[in-house]
Chains A and B, each alone.
Chain A
Amino acid sequence: MGERLLKLIMDILSQPAVLISIIALIGLLIQKKSASEVIKGTTKTFLGFIVIAAGANVIVGSLDPFGKMFQEAFHVTGVVPNNEAIVAMALTKYGSITAFIMFFGMLANILIARFTRLKYIFLTGHHTLYMACMLAVILVVSGLDGVPLVVVGSLALGLIMAFFPAICQPFMRKITGTDHVGFGHFSSLGYVLSGLVGKAVGKGSRSTEKINFPKGLGFLRDSSVTIALTMTILYVIIALFAGPAYIEKNLSGGTHYLVFALIQAITFAAGVFVILSGVRLVLAEIVPAFKGISTKLVPNSKPALDCPIVFPYAPNAVLIGFFCSFLGGIVGMIFLGFAGSIIILPGVVPHFFTGATAGVFGNATGGIRGATIGAFVNGLFITFLPVFLLPVLGDLGFASTTFSDTDFAASGIVLGNLAKSFGAGGVTMTVVGLVLVAVLYNLFRKNKSARA
């Protein structure tokens, strides 16, 4: 009897979908929601996780032929960076650890915001989920498991959630003209780089908003449409290089190779669409609870919000930034081709969102010149970083997709290489040490100002 009970508990805790709905359930109960809302919210979260897993199957089905075609055509591995695809794939294996790290990581974010000078509450829930997942993969590969894994992962996540908005804040003050709102999107290093480049090159350059720009590219904001169109272009070009003989014999089962490429491209977009719906369901209850609890516990905190919050401040810089970043992605890809390394293909979605934001940051410090060059540098940056991330991702490093934004790559590269050089103990000590430094610095400063 006791053994069956233990098995029941263990099976519950190893099922990420069950685990994450329990987290949602706790959140809803803490907020004293009505019974109907508790039932609805918990079920939706459960449903969402299963939907993500279903989307992962769709994506894997279309990425597999993509990888094979690319290999046949160019004799190197081609990778399309896409957060949704890699996370959905990773969650099938690392789902429970991700759920634990996400839950305790959000608590760690609240505590770090409370007890250090990093007063940011990271509210971009999907990026919290993706970062939790990336950390789960890196730390498992580095040899941690059980309680230490969750503790180190959560502390790292909490620190990351408060740290990256902090480095963006000087630029955010300049863009929005206030200090109330933080910036929470895990490609901060690219944006800060763009802002710094803008400062360096942009002396005397006019703001992008002084130029008149043609409209009509608004449909690019519609991420499903953009993914479908660009994946079609990518798949068709690669199919042309791989040739009809190979594809019709080995992959398509006789279907015309271009028709096959088209269907696989749209299947990829459909997979992302499904995963996004799942992510939306999973986060629907967790993020408002997090927001509510954090405003109560950390009264003077700043909410760190998703990247489109800066778009309305410089709509022209958004377009310029996207094009220049994409151009940077293409130049970077050609460079990787000549270097004979793994090839990172330019994904339009990451280049759109991170390029556009880099454009706004570059414009804030260096006008048109800052937006152009800053976003171009961002494009190069998000192309080169994943090359160094792939080796530390274990099995997932061999998937045809990976994390697309700079902070995922940078955090992964740092922690992964620490683990390689100093083992799991090195990673643990670094993460705990950094948190302590942040807390102690705050105490020290407080004492000093109290004495003065």
Chain B
Amino acid sequence: MKILAVCGSGLGSSFMLEMNVQEILNELGVTGIEVEHSDLSSATPDAADLFIAAKDIADGMEHLGEVIVIDSIIDMDGLRTKLTEVLEQKGLL
């Protein structure tokens, strides 16, 4: 499985998001999930199985498929809750 963190320029925010996702995956003890980050233009539906972005760019992401939208990239608790939920649904947790 692959998770892609997305932001406007694909440099700063999505990178922080990627590192936060990685940290949470480590906390949860989940392995075998690849996490990367990119800009909005480069993100295509086949680029990953799950996309994560902050709510300010989520409008432009409906075409991608499954998207987790968080309030802000510094909202670790919100990210943890939503990520855990999705991973449980997928039977990975």
Contacts and interface: CB of A to CB of B under 8 A. Distances in A.
On whether the two chains bind one another, the answer is yes
A315 B60 CA distance: 15
B39 A306 contact: no
Interface residues of B, number: 27
A31 to B, nearest CB: 13
Nearest to B41: A224
B56 interface: yes
Interface string B15-35: 110010010000000000000
Interface on chain B toward A: helix, strand, loop, or mixed SS?
Answer: loop
Contact of A311 (B37, B56, B60): B56
A306 to B, nearest CB: 3
Interface stretch (A121-129, A154-162, A409-417): A121-129
A221 B40 contact: yes
Contacts of B42: 224, 277
Interface centre among B40, B41, B54 (most CB of A within 10 A): B41
Interface in A203-232: 215, 218-219, 221-225
B39 A224 contact: yes
A306 B19 contact: no
B8 A312 contact: no
Nearest to A315: B56
Interface string A269-307: 000010011011001000110010000000000010111
Contacts, number: 95
B71 A276 contact: no
B65 interface: no
Contacts of B74: 176, 180-181, 305, 309
A222 B8 contact: yes
Contacts of A349: 9
A280 B11 contact: yes
B60 A218 contact: yes
Contacts of B93: none
Contacts of B2: none
A97 to B, nearest CB: 22
B12 interface: yes
A125 B15 contact: yes
Given A218-B60, A308-B56, A309-B16, 7 more contacts: A123-B12, A185-B12, A222-B40, A280-B10, A280-B15, A308-B73, A311-B56
User: Which 6 A-B pairs give the minimum distances between C-beta atoms?
Assistant: A306-B12, A221-B8, A218-B59, A224-B41, A222-B40, A311-B56
Interface of A: 123-127, 176, 180-181, 185, 215, 218-219, 221-225, 273, 276-277, 279-280, 283, 287-288, 291, 303, 305-309, 311-313, 315, 318, 349, 353
